[in-house]
């Protein structure tokens, strides 16, 4: 750790009184303390999500002597928070040490005093707008909104939101659903607003509505929800979704039809998940070691192999430590470097704006 080391070590000694007082960067000492605890309990980590199966195996291989107890792989973020609450005084196998939740759950769990602060050794390379300044939660991986294109039908590829206005994309552009009820669709509208010069929040959402209203008026917007099936069939040959969904779909279709995944050059909006340690973790040192692993280059690349962009991607790409075969499987890295992480306040005002204006402007029910 760098600048935050002294404060973090002090915090560690206060929060985890049973743990030895060692510097966070001393992974050998941390490993020995974690091995003494003997176990890490995770929750809501399906093996086919973001490459988590391989990530867990990588952790166990790197740190033998620590058993990984996996609770309810299919739980949601709310379930994870409830599991912490239900096990505050429980040191048994049903008490999670760590959680992986949607962005909004980090601040709310901190407010309820359910989380333990801890800053990993690579803390400074986590973007400031994707972490709690005190270390209670921190972004782990994200997706960006991208365009999936059936290249059997659309042969001239768009590279931006602006390109989608071209008449050559008539009856081609789709969104996943109604932005009033679907987050990926709402954030697509939001991203379109940013691409058209809006500052963020409700302004971005309303500018995005204007953009899609124009696409509808020109006939470029298809009045059908975009989906993998509709893209493959050609009903919606060009549609928006999170990049990790589109890249996995591309692989699953295996060229039938061929699919390109494009990150728009004029607006890169990211949706992030966050990691945190339970304030009541029965195995606090194992939890910290798990975080050190996840936020190491090795752990971050594990997520990338599952097409979830690790939060430290820009740092690793700059240092040239991302293997070329992984880069070749992704859209160009320069667009990811532009990623914007809308704040919770911005997302909240955007939700209010879409609820108020989408139906009227788009003339839908």
Q: How many CA atoms lie within 13 A of 186 on its CB side?
A: 23
* Per-residue model confidence (pLDDT) at position 11: 23
What domains appear along the chain, each with residue ranges and CATH number?
Answer: 5-142+271-328 (3.40.190.10), 143-269+333-362 (3.40.190.10)
| Dihedral sign of CA atoms 323, 329, 332, 334 in order | negative
Cα gap 279→88, rounded to integer Å: 8
* Per-residue model confidence (pLDDT) at position 40: 98
**202 contacts: CB under 8 Å, gap ≥ 6:** 349, 350, 352, 353
Indicate the pairing of strand 173-174 with strand 238-242: parallel
Helix, coil or strand: residue 147: strand
Question: Do 142 and 270 touch, CB atoms closer than 8 A?
Answer: yes
What is the percent of the chain where pLDDT is above 90? 72
* Per-residue model confidence (pLDDT) at position 365: 67
Residue 336 CB: number of other CB atoms within 10 A? 19
Q: How far are the Cα atoms of 198, 214, 216, 363 from residue 189, in angstroms, in the given order? A: 12, 12, 13, 16
* Per-residue model confidence (pLDDT) at position 171: 95
Residue ranges of the chain whose pLDDT lies below 70: 1-25, 365
Of 121, 123, 124, 126, the C-alpha closest to 141 is 126
* Per-residue model confidence (pLDDT) at position 1: 24
Residue 208's H or E segment, with its range, is helix 201-218
Q: 40 forms bridges with which residues in the sheet?
A: 68
Question: Do 215 and 223 touch, CB atoms closer than 8 A?
Answer: no
Q: Which two tokens stand for residue 298?
A: 């090795």
Cα gap 237→227, rounded to integer Å: 9
* Per-residue model confidence (pLDDT) at position 14: 26
* Per-residue model confidence (pLDDT) at position 239: 94
Q: Which two tokens stand for residue 250?
A: 């591309």
Instruction: Look up the pTM and report it.
Output: 0.74
């Amino acid at each position: 750790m760098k600048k935050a080391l002294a404060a973090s070590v002090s915090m560690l000694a206060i929060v985890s009184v049973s743990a030895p007082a060692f510097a966070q960067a001393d992974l050998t000492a941390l490993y020995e303390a974690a091995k003494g605890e003997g176990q890490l309990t995770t929750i809501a980590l399906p093996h086919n999500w973001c490459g988590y199966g391989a990530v867990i195996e990588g952790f166990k291989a790197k740190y033998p002597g620590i058993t990984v107890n996996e609770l309810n792989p299919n739980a949601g973020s709310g379930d994870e928070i409830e599991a912490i609450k239900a096990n505050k005084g429980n040191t048994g196998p049903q008490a999670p040490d760590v959680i992986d939740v949607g962005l909004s759950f980090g601040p709310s769990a901190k407010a309820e005093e359910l989380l333990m602060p801890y800053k990993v050794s690579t803390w400074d390379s986590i973007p400031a707008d994707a972490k709690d300044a005190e270390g209670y939660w921190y972004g782990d991986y994200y997706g960006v909104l991208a365009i999936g294109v059936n290249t059997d039908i659309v042969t001239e590829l768009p590279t931006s939101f602006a390109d989608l206005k071209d008449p050559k994309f008539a009856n081609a552009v789709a969104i996943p659903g109604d932005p009033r009820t679907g987050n990926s669709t709402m954030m697509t509208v939001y991203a379109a607003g940013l691409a058209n010069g809006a500052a963020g929040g409700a302004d971005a959402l309303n500018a995005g509505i204007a953009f899609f209203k124009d696409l509808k008026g020109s006939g470029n917007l298809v009045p059908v929800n975009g989906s993998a099936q509709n893209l493959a069939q050609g009903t919606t040959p060009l549609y928006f979704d999170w990049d990790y969904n589109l890249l996995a779909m591309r692989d699953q279709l295996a060229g039938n039809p061929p699919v390109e995944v494009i990150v728009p050059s004029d607006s890169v909006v990211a949706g992030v998940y966050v990691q945190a340690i339970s304030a009541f973790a029965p195995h606090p040192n194992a939890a910290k070691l798990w975080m050190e692993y996840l936020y190491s280059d090795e752990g971050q690349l594990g997520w990338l192999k599952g097409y979830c962009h690790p939060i430290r991607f820009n740092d690793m790409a700059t240092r040239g430590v991302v293997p070329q075969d992984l880069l070749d499987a992704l859209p160009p890295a320069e667009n990811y470097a532009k990623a914007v992480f809308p704040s919770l306040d911005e997302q909240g005002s955007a939700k209010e704006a879409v609820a108020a204006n989408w139906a009227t402007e788009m003339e839908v029910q």
